[in-house]
Amino acid sequence: AHTHPSNIYWTFAASVVVVYDWVITLGQEIELIWRQRWSLITVLYLAIRYIGIPYSVMSILINTPFVSVKSAVRINMFYALNGTNVIVTAMLGVIMIVRLYAMYQRSRMILVFLVVVFLAVNIACGVITIIGLMDTVGEEMILYGTYMCAYGPRTSSEGDIVPLLTSIIWVLNTVWEVPALCLAVWIAVKHFRDLRRLGQSTIEDCFRALIKSHVLYFASFAGVSCVQLAYVFPAFFHSQSTGSLTLSGACEVLLVVQMFVLGPHLILSVREFNAKLVTDSDEETTMASIVFQENVRVPTSSTV
């Protein structure tokens, strides 16, 4: 696929969103992440958050025609970006498993189901990505009067395999994300009914916070998936029309936002809610069975 010069604007936009979100949430991050007891969720948060910055830098470098980077370096960065997509997606899947496991009150059946689907999907995506990258090479060329680097299959006969593999990866990711969303919505609706009957508005607010962050994350994923699935059609994949380039650029922004903004917020939003709960009420102990079971220390010695 050729890299169009207009891609750099979308890449810059995505990078600005990542950096801006990091800056405005840095205070919350220090208070809710760095100053708490470290756990698996803490490590995942920091890994995803701080992978996003070098990821954005590499995206700019390989899409900026006026930056002098050797073609061998560009292709290695291209491989690194695609590998990072798979790794970060897997990390986000682990976060989702922890959230759902907590929401279902540590149900072993739910945990087994989630782990089996997660492993099957991510192993398959990893293998497909490796196959696609092994058959991808970079080629220097002059496009639209500008020096660019194009990435594509080693032989012309394999030209249609790249969009097909891309679409398969996103179909597999959809197989994971849709059940995860359905499980989250189902348990939330069930608890909303029970809690309203019992009058426990505090826990209801917690589930509302969980669902809000989950739905925003899934909406971004759905937007990216719709565009990625369209790549199965070679005419769309190779098109240089304004419409297809706009969709491709918007997809790039949504993908970066999903991974490096909405992903970390899956954790940050819950911790922020719990911190407010601990500060404003005496009901913090009721949260122990709902939010992440991490034994995180907060100022009042509650566990979350």
Three-state SS at 291: coil
CB environment 191-207: b (16+ within 10 A), e (fewer): beeebeeeeeebbbebb
From residue 83, give the alpha-carbon distance in Å to each of 55, 67, 213, 222.
11, 23, 26, 21
pLDDT at 199: 57
pLDDT at 71: 67
Write out pLDDT tens, residues 33-63: 999 889 999 999 999 999 999 999 888 888 7
Q: Taking the alpha carbons of 242, 243, 248, 252 in that order, is the dihedral positive or negative?
A: positive
pLDDT at 247: 78
pLDDT at 285: 45
pLDDT at 132: 81
Write out pLDDT tens, residues 230-245: 666 666 656 667 777 7
Residues of the chain below pLDDT 70: 1-6, 65-71, 136-160, 162, 195-207, 230-240, 277-304
CB 206 within 8 A of CB 277: yes
pLDDT at 136: 66
Tokens found for residue 227: 């565009």
pLDDT at 3: 52
Whole-model pTM: value is 0.79
CB 152 within 8 A of CB 69: no
pLDDT at 248: 77
- C-alpha–C-alpha distance, residues 284 and 288, integer Å: 8
Q: Cα 29 to the chain's mean position, in Å?
A: 18
- C-alpha–C-alpha distance, residues 300 and 53, integer Å: 34
Three-state SS at 262: helix
